[in-house]
Amino acid sequence: MDRGEGVYFWDTEGKRYLDWSSQLVNVNVGHSHPHVVKAIQDHIGRISFAYPSIATEARGRLGELLSEVTPGNLSKAFFTNGGTDAIENAIKIARLYTGRPKILTRYRSYHGATFGAMTAGGDPRRHGHGPGIPDIIRLPDPYAYRSPVYKGRTQEEGDAILADMVEEIVLMEGPQSCAAIMIEGYSGTSGIIQPSAVYWNRIAEICKKYKMLLIVDEVMSGFGRTGEWFGVDHYPNVTPDIITIAKGITSGYVPMGAAIVSEEIGKYFDDHMLSIGLTYSSHPLACAAGVANIEVYRSENLIDNAREMGKVLRQGLVDLAEKHPVIGEIRGAGLHQAIELVKNRETREPLTPFIGPNSEPLQIFNRTLKDEGISTFSRWSIVFNCPPLVINEAQIKEGLEVIDHALSKVDSYYEG
């Protein structure tokens, strides 16, 4: 990459790419946004670094803004270097607060790359690294397209059964040893596999009933990605006790994350030892970038734009599915949409195997996107459509045209 501006970036040979994934679903305000760039430039001339026990104006302001935009009574943020260590610290906080060890997480989930976060995430990136940390309990997934639980049932019917299974698992594990259920606010790189409100409401009830915390990982789904400030905002009856954020908090301009806790949890640590800490916690440049990002989300109505442009994107993908039978399913909300490619709509056999190298059609598909100036990523047969929230309708059409062409090159691999 040589430079970036808005939804585009250019390589060193001058070729332009439409950023169809916001890099790693984090450059939410687009590339080189002048307001954010200026905030960082202004700040570094004044404060280049302050160690975590020292307050700065940007840090205080960011904490205040976060408590305004986050759901429920989340009010205190512990700032980290990114999403992974936000998760690590959320786990530590939950264990210290409840005095219980077990954290329940989904199989198809990703929570980061260090040992704790990696073990918490169930997806195959944890393979090959040994057993990981103890006391992570995995839950089955609300994968209506593939899970046998959903065969012949609606999403909601299957979700109700799955939530009952979660309660059963809590009982078998012993509620007195279960600290928290941790799930992504809106499922991300595991394939945008999102349950309905039926599941979410029951999970929140189970947490209350057994005095467990609900940790919602908003690292990817936060800051407007799905057309709401946070993924969990799609479920008004659900109030998280802790959320983790990163990515869109600074749009990646400076690395940053946070574990944000409810007022009760914050108060508890007023007189209980909170044995966590990082040299770069609340780095002044990251705080300045965070404040500037939230100002941009608000002043440019980017959450509304994500919702509205999400409808255009979704309709465009639905139209493509009519033309290309390799699209087995479309999932997501706002500017957070996945298409799952299949060899056959009846058998739902994936176009490339789950885990392992990409099959020939996936390689052709990905190469066509790159050749024709679209930058995005796919995992297994799932292709991500997650452009910056500043995208407009013409730019969405531009991206969809290339995807249309790339799909036409793999239509012949369909075995229907």
Ligand X SMILES: Cc1ncc(COP(=O)(O)O)c(C=O)c1O
Instruction: Please report where in the chains the tokens 């929140």 appear, as a residue.
Output: 204
Region for 114 from its dihedrals, namely left if φ exceeds 0, alpha if ψ lies in -120 to 50, beta otherwise: beta
Which tokens go with 2?
A: 């040589």
What mask, x for binding ligand X by CB under 6 A, covers residues 20 to 39? ----x---------------
111 near ligand X, judged by CB under 6 A: yes
Please state the closest distance from residue 386 (CB atom) to ligand X, in A: 11
Residue 260 in contact with ligand X, rule: CB under 6 A:
no
Of 22, 28, 70, 84, the residue at the interface with ligand X (CB under 6 A) is: 84
Exactly one of 219, 265, 288, 386 binds ligand X (CB under 6 A); that residue is 219
Task: Please answer whether residues 176 and 100 qualify as being in contact, where contact means their C-beta atoms are separated by less than 8 angstroms.
Answer: yes
Q: Would you say the C-alpha torsion 374, 378, 381, 382 has a positive or negative sign? A: negative
What values do phi and psi take at 138, rounded to 5? -100, 145
Give dist(CA 372, CA 243) in Å, integer: 38
Positive or negative: CA dihedral 326, 332, 338, 343: negative
Euclidean distance between the first and the last CA atom of the chain, given in angstroms as a whole number: 40
Among 4, 6, 63, 83, the residue binding ligand X under the rule CB under 6 A is: 83
Name which of 281 and 395 has its Cβ closer to ligand X.
281
Task: List the Cα angle 91/384/197 in 5-degree steps.
Answer: 55
Binding mask 152-191 for ligand X (x = CB under 6 A): --------------------------------x---xx--
Question: Is 120 among the residues that bind ligand X (CB under 6 A)?
Answer: no
Residue 332 contacts ligand X per CB under 6 A:
no
The rounded distance, in Å, linking the Cα atoms of 252 and 254 is 5
Nearer Cβ to ligand X (24/133): 24
* Residue showing the smallest CB distance to ligand X in the complex: 83
- For ligand X, the binding residue among 112, 334, 388, 399 (CB under 6 A) is 112
Is residue 309 involved in binding ligand X (CB under 6 A)? no
Quick one: which H or E segment has residue 398?
Answer: helix 393-410
- Annotate each residue in 350-369 with x if it binds ligand X (CB under 6 A) or - if it does not, as one string: --------------------
List residues near ligand X by CB under 6 A. Answer: 24, 82-84, 87, 110-112, 184, 188-189, 217, 219-220, 246, 257
